[in-house]
């Protein structure tokens, strides 16, 4: 009982540190054979690689160990096979099967299905509904990746990862965004051919990555437009230029992330795999 009492007398920070050290210790790490070692230099004061992978949601610690043993994990460009290798989750570049794994605990990634009438900002001087009305309180300040105009609904990503955000929005990295638009129908094949060939707008030419008619029945048609650039009102101006102005518009996908079953006006955290796929799409 004396040991328990003395431990309870420690400060909260000391107790948390003691708990972390206990959780981090695995006696089996001391039993690994010498041939299991590699040339990776441990980060002093870092955490075990399998713990970083598990905390990032990649897999359980045991499954992470299996991936490490199989040579599927690299840290800062070096394949690591030691279960006890120490990494810095804030700074180490960790990859599994070549895909980046974000292990920094303060990095946040969300998908929001934005309703019509919501401004793509976190604050509006006119008092209109903003993204902040749907994100709630997060551990860190987040910002939107690109924008959707007020009357467009659909997928918008939010994060505090500036490097990834820049890559996803810059046309140089060709991350494709997918839109579904309701337009006057029917849409003739000549319009499809014109859009695929490229359309000249007042601020320069636009080439769609793909265009298809989803539904062409009657006076209304549904079309899918895929673009890697994000000039202001680009989809609306594009369809206006070919004589089929947009009545309703929704963005359904950004790179590998799509809306799936995300309900209008709701937000969810991206999975570790989805974040890795975004990094891959952005060339990181």
The pTM for the full model equals 0.80
Q: Is the pLDDT of residue 6 over 80?
A: no
| pLDDT tens sequence across 57-94 | 888 989 999 999 999 999 999 999 988 899 999 899 99
Q: How confident is the model at residue 35 (pLDDT cuts 50, 70, 90)?
A: very low
Examine the pLDDT at 8 and tell me if it is beyond 70. no
| Per-chain mean pLDDT for the chain | 87
279 neighbors 95 (Cβ within 8 angstroms): no
Instruction: Categorize the per-residue pLDDT at 210 as very low, low, confident or very high, splitting at 50, 70 and 90.
Output: very high
Catalytic residue among 42, 149, 209, 215: 149
Report the 10 Å Cβ neighbour count for 221.
20
φ and ψ of 30, to 5 deg = -80, -10
Q: Which of 38-42, 187-191, 195-199 has the lowest mean pLDDT?
A: 38-42
- Burial readout 157-170 (b: 16 or more C-beta within 10 A, e: otherwise): bbbbbeebbebbbe
| Model confidence pLDDT, tens digit, residues 122-138 | 899 999 999 999 988 77
Beta strands in the chain (DSSP E): 47-48, 73-75, 78-79, 86-87, 94-96, 99-101, 109-114, 143-145, 153-159, 177-184, 199-201, 204-206, 210-215, 220-227, 248-254, 257-258, 267-269
Tell me whether residue 149 is one of the annotated catalytic residues.
Answer: yes
- Using the predicted structure, report yes or no on whether residue 2 has a pLDDT greater than 50: no
Given a contact cutoff of 8 angstroms between Cβ atoms, the answer to whether 52 and 85 are in contact is no
């Amino acid at each position: 009982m004396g040991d328990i009492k003395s431990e309870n007398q420690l400060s909260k920070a000391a107790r948390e540190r003691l708990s972390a050290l206990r959780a981090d210790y695995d006696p089996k790490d001391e039993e690994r054979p010498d041939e299991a070692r590699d040339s990776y230099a441990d980060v002093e004061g870092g955490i075990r690689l399998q713990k970083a992978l598990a905390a990032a949601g990649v897999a359980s610690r045991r499954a992470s160990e299996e991936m490490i043993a199989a040579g599927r994990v690299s840290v800062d460009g070096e394949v690591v096979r030691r279960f006890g290798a120490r990494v810095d989750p804030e700074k180490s570049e960790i990859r599994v099967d070549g895909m980046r794994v974000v292990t920094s605990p303060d990095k946040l990634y969300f998908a929001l299905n934005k309703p019509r009438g919501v401004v793509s900002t976190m604050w509006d001087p006119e008092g209109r509904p903003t993204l902040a009305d749907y994100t709630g309180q997060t551990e860190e300040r987040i910002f939107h990746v690109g924008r959707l105009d007020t009357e467009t609904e659909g997928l918008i990503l939010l994060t505090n990862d500036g490097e990834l955000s820049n890559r996803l929005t810059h046309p140089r990295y060709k991350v494709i965004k997918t839109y579904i638009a309701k337009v006057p129908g029917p849409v003739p094949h000549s319009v499809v051919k014109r859009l695929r060939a490229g359309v000249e707008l007042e601020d320069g030419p636009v080439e769609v990555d793909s265009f298809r008619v989803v539904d062409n029945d009657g006076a209304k048609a549904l079309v899918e437009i895929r673009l890697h650039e994000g000039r202001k009102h680009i989809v609306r101006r594009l369809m206006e230029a070919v004589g089929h102005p947009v009545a309703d518009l929704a963005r359904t996908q950004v790179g590998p992330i799509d809306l799936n079953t995300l309900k209008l006006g709701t937000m969810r955290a991206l999975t570790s795999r989805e974040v890795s796929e975004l990094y891959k799409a952005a060339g990181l």
